[in-house]
A and B are shown apart, each in its own frame.
Chain A
Amino acid sequence: MMEKPGQPTLLYIDRHLVHEVTSPQAFEGLRLAGRKVRCPDLTFATIDHNVPTTDRWVLIQDPIAAKQVMSLRENCKKFGITLYDLDSARQGIVHVIGPELGITLPGLTIVCGDSHTSTHGAFGSLAFGIGTSEVEHVLATQCLPQSKPKTMAVRLNGQRAWGVTPKDLILGVIGRIGVSGGTGYIIEYCGTAVKDLSMEGRMTVCNMSIECGARAGMIAPDEKTFHYLEDRPLAPKGRDFERAVTYWKTLPSDADARFDREVTFDISAFAPQVTWGTNPGQVVEATRCVPDPKDFSDETHRHAAERALEYMALKPGLPIQEIRVDRVFIGSCTNARLEDLRAAASVIRGKRIASSVKSMVVPGSQRVKAQAEAEGLDKIFKAAGFEWRESGCSMCLGMNSDILQPGERCASTSNRNFEGRQGRGGRTHLVSPVMAAAAAITGHFVDVREWFAQGQIAAEVF
């Protein structure tokens, strides 16, 4: 919107998404300064982080969480902001509902007090996570001062094998460039393998940009993007939509665009990924073994690997497929959309989960839940022994009662395997929905590609 020498660029923010955890102090700041919300019509709120995923109709038991939810309700009412509350058919994880409602559109600037806001970049929007002070800044001014980041192209070419999912692509990338490889950059994902991804797959990839340090990740909009957005409740309609598409077609980078950094990977050789450590970059193919810290040349990273293996209670050289799990979590803003649930259901259809494993599915939104139920996916999960829950962030960060017990090991479709992330002392292995589903059945990790090869899973899933 404005550039002044010696100051960060002032960006105009087209969409501001708000949730209960990172907003109360921002609204309080407005009140203390006597300021208003400048554009309530560009601001959308939902409740996702700390809500129970069991019964929607009982009051939240945790009094502090209940107060946070009440604060958001009061703030939305006072400042005139649309809230998709727990009783709304539109409620869900903020990064799932933005795209599915058509709040997210190409070419827009989108912010939210949550680091996985990078998800929305799948539509060719500039979308990034912000802190509470910045939330307050956007509420008050609809603008945000930002220094220009560097640009990185992550080019993915080649053909994905069956069982190698968008989650495996992004975990593979993070494993290769490292957890701070994208710090200071905005990533554009490009290449034939990115073009081939569905919109939901693109969201999974962009979602985890922050796990390599990049605040934003984006993908050029194309016909798939436009098709996805057509008829979404809040997307433009009729002639406005046609005009919008004409404009959106001008957004992709030039073919000869230069980036500050470029990396290229042939993903034909990628296999299903499983994290072994306590950050998403500590990841390995399902066909391999837990690495030996001795093989790390850098001393600091060697110590970090030793510490991670100690926390994870894993020995170097243990084959990944011999790691047994106690819990399986299919959910989160990374992997709880309809295609994720369909893929997981295809793996478990007609099977039962191992008796030693507790498993749950937490759909990303109430719309996803309703669509999945319309297709009968809930019945497949329940018949296999999974719990079928209401939508929310749930065990991705364990702010509600969905947490691991100390020492429990979980195959999780979420985005962070940090120490204690899913519950103090809990051990998280990040995997794709099909890998998580297969681990639920066998009680340990497998190479899900073999199940495809043996004809146990219908190929059309991917």
Chain B
Amino acid sequence: MTPFKTVTGLVALLDRVNVDTDQIIPKQFLKRVERSGFGQFLFDDWRKCSDGSPNPDFMLNRSRYRGAQVLLTRENFGCGSSREHAVWALQDYGFTVILSSSFADIFKTNSSKNGLLTVELAKAVIDEWFQRAMNQEGYRITVDLKTQTLTGSDNFSCSFEIDPYHRRCLLEGLDEIGLTLEYESAIAAYERTHGEPWQAVVSHTAG
């Protein structure tokens, strides 16, 4: 995973609650066996009209949000399916940070495994950022994970909380699988001492 660096990014607004992963990346695009190339399908049903042309009403199609890196949205973002393709699509499109008052659990975990920073803020603070970003075209936010602060281009600023372990993983770009593999002898010892007969699988064959 690439270490997370401080970013100053254009803010795009998605003023909806409960945005589910079926909207972020519709199922017809989950058949690919690669991790890349999902950005073109991000929010596909919302971004495109039924004839495939861009939907002028959808925010990501507005010229003022072209090149946005920070997505500002509402509560329970990423609910529903566990598809990690949702995170890959957001990143491939160009987003590096998502700000919301809450995230679904699996989406949040998937994000942290890929270096996509999810920042949770109180609803009133999210409202404040919405106001400021809406009123000023080209509004940018600087996201500093080391100091855990957000600073807008009008110098409005706030701090945010993040789990220290996740913060470290993001900042150092840690290979978590590599970390766990360092405990190989402990895992093997656990398997020797804790295995009840039924925990190991009874002999099985493909039926």
A contacts, CB < 8 Å to B: 1-2, 6-8, 10, 12, 14-15, 21-22, 24-25, 28, 33, 35, 38, 41-42, 49-50, 62, 64-65, 67-68, 71, 82-85, 88-90, 102-103, 105, 108, 113-115, 129-134, 136-137, 140-143, 145, 147, 149, 179-180, 183-184, 210, 213, 215, 233-237, 240-241, 243-244, 247, 279, 300-301, 304, 307, 397-399, 406, 416, 418-421, 424-425
A141 partner residues in chain B, CB cutoff 8 A: 177, 180-181, 187
A14 touches B23 (CB 8 A): no
The 5 closest A-B pairs by CB, nearest first: A133-B113, A131-B110, A24-B33, A131-B84, A236-B198
B32 partner residues in chain A, CB cutoff 8 A: 64, 68
Report the nearest A residue to B187, measured CB to CB. A143
Q: A179–B76 Cα gap in the complex (Å)? A: 8
B87 partner residues in chain A, CB cutoff 8 A: 131
B84 partner residues in chain A, CB cutoff 8 A: 22, 25, 131-133
Question: Is there a chain A Cβ closer than 8 Å to B157's Cβ?
Answer: no
| Among candidates B105, B181, B183, residue contacting A2 with C-beta atoms closer than 8 Å | B183
| Among candidates A12, A213, A234, residue contacting B104 with C-beta atoms closer than 8 Å | A213
Nearest CB of A to B158, in Å: 20
Q: A243–B196 Cα gap in the complex (Å)? A: 9
| A-B CB contact pairs (8 Å), 21 listed | A1-B187, A2-B186, A25-B33, A28-B35, A35-B181, A64-B31, A89-B207, A90-B207, A103-B201, A114-B81, A129-B106, A131-B110, A132-B110, A133-B84, A180-B75, A180-B79, A183-B104, A213-B76, A240-B202, A244-B196, A304-B16
Tell me whether chain A's interface is mostly helix, strand or loop, or mixed.
loop
Question: Is there a chain A Cβ closer than 8 Å to B147's Cβ?
Answer: no
Q: A149–B108 Cα gap in the complex (Å)? A: 13
| Additional 17 contacts, C-beta under 8 A, given A108-B199, A130-B109, A234-B202 | A7-B165, A50-B31, A64-B32, A103-B201, A129-B82, A130-B82, A131-B87, A131-B106, A141-B181, A145-B176, A145-B180, A213-B104, A235-B202, A300-B75, A304-B16, A421-B27, A424-B26
Range of interface residues on B (Cβ < 8 Å): 35 or more
| Among candidates B75, B110, B191, B197, residue contacting A240 with C-beta atoms closer than 8 Å | B197
Nearest CB of B to A16, in Å: 11
| Among candidates A10, A38, A129, A300, residue contacting B17 with C-beta atoms closer than 8 Å | A300
Tell me whether chain B's interface is mostly helix, strand or loop, or mixed.
loop
Question: Is there a chain A Cβ closer than 8 Å to B144's Cβ?
Answer: no
A33 touches B83 (CB 8 A): no
Indicate with 1 or 0, residue by residue over B101-140, a CB within 8 angstroms of chain A CB atoms.
Answer: 0101110011001100000000000000000000000000
A418 touches B75 (CB 8 A): no
A136 partner residues in chain B, CB cutoff 8 A: 177
B109 partner residues in chain A, CB cutoff 8 A: 130-131, 134
B31 partner residues in chain A, CB cutoff 8 A: 21, 50, 62, 64-65, 67-68, 399
Nearest CB of B to A236, in Å: 4
B200 touches A41 (CB 8 A): yes
A42 partner residues in chain B, CB cutoff 8 A: 200-201
Given the contacts A14-B199, A42-B201, A115 and B82 also touching, CB distance less than 8 Å: yes
